[in-house]
Amino acid sequence: MPLNLPILLTWLRVALIPIFVGIFYLPHDLLPLHSQNMLGTLVFALAAVTDWFDGFLARRWNQTSSFGAFLDPVADKLMVGAALILLVELARAPAWLAVIIIGREITISALREWMAQIGKSKSVAVATIGKFKTTAQMIAILFLLWWDALLPGIPTRWIGLAALYIAGVLTIVSMFYYLRVAAEQFREHG
């Protein structure tokens, strides 16, 4: 396993998951709900920034590796999955929508693994629709974690829910896009 700054940033993202989740389980007399929302949002935002930054540095410094290519999406899926499950438990997101998003992530990860095994991983590389889905998902999670109004008249919960529904639609559309791209390989390789 190579050890460089991009991979360390990815490991940091994984390490932030229990911290991020734990913040919302602290007793309210120790950390009031408003403070939990702020701190949890900041930790999630830090993780999101490391996601962008580790890939940027790996490409810029030519430190890409197969291990990094494996670990990065795993860290992303774990962080997003943990956030969505937490939001469902906090009654800030519908469970059915979280199941769709998490289910798609598992399905596409398995599809990418299978495509890599048959030497066709470039066929299911991240597409623009997937980037839009991820952007909507991150915006939704950040607003739903914050939950409180940013400024008077700016209801973060409604912005977050709207972004989550948009992410849900893009999740389904992108899943069908990737499945359509891979359909030819399914026919060839059974």
Last residue of a domain, one of 65, 91, 117: 91
Same domain, 189 and 97: yes
pLDDT digits over 55-101, tens only?
Answer: 888 888 888 887 887 888 899 999 999 999 999 999 999 999 999 99
Same domain, 99 and 38: no
Q: Is residue 78 domain-shared with residue 110, that is, in the same domain?
A: no
Asked if 185 and 118 count as a contact pair (C-beta separation under 8 A), the reply is yes
pLDDT in tens, 179-189: 887 777 777 76
What percent of the chain shows pLDDT beyond 90? 55
Residue with tokens 């309210």: 28
- Domain stops at, among 25, 58, 91: 91
Let me know whether 58 and 118 are in one domain.
no
Q: Domain ends where: 48, 71, 91?
A: 91
Whether residue 74 is found in the same domain as residue 103: no
Rounded distance, CA 150 to CA 43, Å? Answer: 17
Residue 167 lies in domain: 93-190
Asked if 79 and 46 count as a contact pair (C-beta separation under 8 A), the reply is no
Q: Same structural domain for residues 16 and 45? A: yes
Q: State the Cα–Cα distance between residues 19 and 105, nearest whole angstrom.
A: 23
Q: Are 24 and 38 in contact (CB under 8 A)?
A: no
State pLDDT tens for residues 14-36. Answer: 999 999 999 999 999 999 999 99
Instruction: Please give the angle made by the CA atoms of 148, 105 and 179, to the nearest 5 degrees.
Output: 135
Domain check: are 65 and 126 in the same one?
no
Q: 105 and 87, same structural domain?
A: no
Q: Are residues 68 and 101 in the same domain?
A: no
Q: What is the DSSP string of 155-176?
A: -HHHHHHHHHHHHHHHHHHHHH
Q: Identify the weakest region by mean pLDDT among 45-49, 104-108, 139-143, 183-187.
A: 183-187
Q: Do 105 and 85 share a structural domain? A: no
pLDDT-based confidence at 128, cuts 50/70/90?
confident
- Tell whether 112 and 183 lie within a shared domain: yes
Please state the domain count of the chain: 2
Q: Check pLDDT > 70 for residue 120.
A: no
70 lies in the same domain as 110? no
